Amino acid sequence: MRIIIFIILFITSNNFIFSHANGIIQGIVLDANTRQPFEGANIILKELTIGAITDKDGSFYLKNVPFGNYKIIISHIGYESIELTIEVSNEGVNLKEILLIPLIIYEKPFVVTANRIPLEPIYINKSVEVIGSDLINTTNANSIEGILHQVSNIDVKPRGIFGVQANVGIRGSLFSQNLILLNGVRINDPQTAHHNFNIPVSVNQIKRIEILKGPGSTQYGPDAFGGIINIVTKEPEFEQFRVRISVGENKYFSGLGSYETNLNWISTHNSFEMKSSSGYRYDTDFKIWNVSSNNFIKLPFGDYNLLAGYIDKEFGAYDFYTPGRNYPSKEWTNTGFVNIRTKLVLDGITVNPKVYYRRNYDKFMLDLRTPDKFVNIHTTHLYGGEIVAAKKVGNNIFLTGGFEYSEDKITSTKLGDHNRSLFGYFINAQMIYESRFNIDVGIRVDHHLDYGVQFNPTVGLGYLFSRTGKIFLNSGRAFRAPSYTELYYSDPVNVGNAELKPEIGWSYELGFQNYFSTSFETNGSVFLRKQSNIIDYVQYFVGDKFYAENFTKANTSGAELSM
């Protein structure tokens, strides 16, 4: 039963005038898109603070309104408010139909590139969170993992500060079970996931960060158990030069210099950044610097993007890899990355070819007190390319397909020399019916040099209950190949296992999302992830070494609600 509350206040300079003539205001509130009656819209007269709420037919009545001129406000969460000036007289006022327009979800509509199918977030049948440039600027974060602290159900565990190293998990997944992309290109490190956030771009070069929770192997192959994190760099809009310097305790220094320019057909964003500190305690010192250049070229036959970057780190790694053993350790890493991508439109088909190369160098000294012992040097190479094609069929069917080849290799004083290759091809289809119901299906087949053929299907169902809200259901399969460290690394604390099998998982999710505005949304979901052959390190008794093993089965379930 709906309770309608009317609050009527009549105020004069000295007395209430009970004999004053009164009128009626009435109308019907409708959704501008569907023209359906709007139940629960708020009606307010500003001058008198008289209020009403529309009934199930969208109708409202304001009675006993004194004659005169007023401003009336009609509003509802998720819709643009309307303010009208009216005059109440003997005949009363009939506003007839009032149309409320949904708020624009994003100031500049965009597609989530990590989804492969080029659709706005509202049409993706997964939990999607997008950290835009406005939020990035307000966080004042000086590292990518610092930005990710803003997202619910993402577990960020910094190992050191100011971007030294961090492990990131999604929905209870291990830090190695998530796929990290830079402009849609895989940058997961094949040696160890501890290096996944050696990303050679500055925070001020980031346009947005897309987080797709749930399995993503259908789109990108291995690693996407908990979800996908895609870092999207921005294209410069105008010329500007920026310098920022910060200093603090423990000899902390941070400096940034960047230059952006846009000449219509070519634009570039070059950045140099440095951070250093003596540390807040022993063996927590660090020195980090990175340089990157992001270039966009627009030609008559296509758009091209060249991103190149390099990041160098030197830091104290006290007990990073030997918890509880009190080893004062030291680590040096440097990472280079190059990606060339283009976008071509051929007979209504959008084609996106990409080639990429990533090199990571890692030198680790276990004990500074014995610098000649337990020193490991690893160099990994990851390179590959892909071609993805997308086409809209009719008004409501979207098709995406493509293939990818990648190869990684390692040269190591501790792990030996190894290489692996992966060839995958996939197809996804999504149909949207009457702009409300949609279904997506897809499958990817991966041929892994060491672990054979992997089939990874996915299916999703969705319903838009408003222009800004959706309910969705999805299920999919994911897999992850062991890292080189899990396979071959051994030291006085940890022991690898060359017989490890790939992790396998099936995920199921039911959820909703409602975007009220560009800065406010609500999300909720329940999920289940059923896993087998999970890889983790096991200590069989206190004081023993940690051994890399496959667990037979493990289930992860949970619920999330955020706003």
Token pair 């009545």 in the structure block, residue: 61
- Say if 6 falls within a structural domain: no
Compute the distance between CA of residue 397 and CA of residue 230 in angstroms, rounded to an integer.
25
Q: What is the pLDDT of residue 12?
A: 37
Alpha-carbon Rg for the chain in angstroms: 29
Sequence-distant (6+) residues with CB within 8 A of 408 are 190, 380, 381, 382, 383, 419, 420
- Say if 16 falls within a structural domain: no
For the chain, the helix, strand and coil percentages under 3-state DSSP, each to the nearest 5: 5, 60, 35
Output the six-digit token pair for 318: 């006290």
Q: Encode pLDDT of 333-351 as tens digits.
A: 999 999 999 988 888 888 9
Compute the distance between CA of residue 416 and CA of residue 144 in angstroms, rounded to an integer.
32
Same domain, residue pair 226 and 189? yes
Q: What is the pLDDT of residue 113?
A: 66
Sign of CA dihedral 226, 179, 462, 99: positive
Same domain, residue pair 451 and 334? yes
Same domain, residue pair 238 and 163? no
DSSP 195: G
Same domain, residue pair 527 and 445? yes
Q: What is the pLDDT of residue 7?
A: 35
- Say if 158 falls within a structural domain: yes
Same domain, residue pair 275 and 317? yes
Same domain, residue pair 299 and 379? yes
Compute the distance between CA of residue 374 and CA of residue 363 in angstroms, rounded to an integer.
11
Q: Is-contact 27 59, C-beta < 8 A?
A: yes
Question: Considering the entire predicted model, what is its pTM?
Answer: 0.78
Q: What is the pLDDT of residue 5?
A: 36
Splitting the chain (563 residues) into consecutive groups of 10 residues, what average pLDDT does each group show? 36 39 87 81 80 87 87 76 86 87 52 69 85 79 84 81 88 90 94 94 91 88 90 89 91 92 90 93 92 92 92 92 84 97 88 96 92 90 95 85 96 96 94 85 94 95 86 95 94 89 95 72 90 91 89 87 80
Compute the distance between CA of residue 144 and CA of residue 198 in angstroms, rounded to an integer.
10
DSSP 136: H
Strand blocks (E) in 188-265: 206-213, 227-233, 240-248, 252-262
Among residues 41, 40, 34, the alpha carbon closest in space to that of 81 is found at 41
CATH number at 294 reads 2.40.170.20
Same domain, residue pair 295 and 246? yes
- Say if 7 falls within a structural domain: no
Same domain, residue pair 243 and 380? yes
Same domain, residue pair 225 and 238? no
Sheet with 206-213, edge to edge strand ranges: 127-132, 206-213, 227-233, 178-182, 185-186
Tell which of 79, 100, 121 closes a domain.
100
Tell which of 54, 72, 100 closes a domain.
100
Structurally, the chain folds into a number of domains equal to: 3
Domain of residue 433 covers 232-562
Output the six-digit token pair for 163: 């971007």
Same domain, residue pair 155 and 200? yes
Same domain, residue pair 510 and 480? yes
Among residues 181, 119, 182, the alpha carbon closest in space to that of 428 is found at 119
CATH number at 29 reads 2.60.40.1120
Compute the distance between CA of residue 61 and CA of residue 43 in angstroms, rounded to an integer.
9
Q: What is the pLDDT of residue 472?
A: 96
3-class secondary structure, 139: helix
Q: Cα-flanking dihedrals φ and ψ of residue 484, to 5°? A: -65, -35
Strand blocks (E) in 171-238: 178-182, 185-186, 206-213, 227-233
Same domain, residue pair 29 and 88? yes
Sign of CA dihedral 516, 518, 524, 525: positive
Q: Cα-flanking dihedrals φ and ψ of residue 558, to 5°? A: 180, 180
Output the six-digit token pair for 410: 């390692």
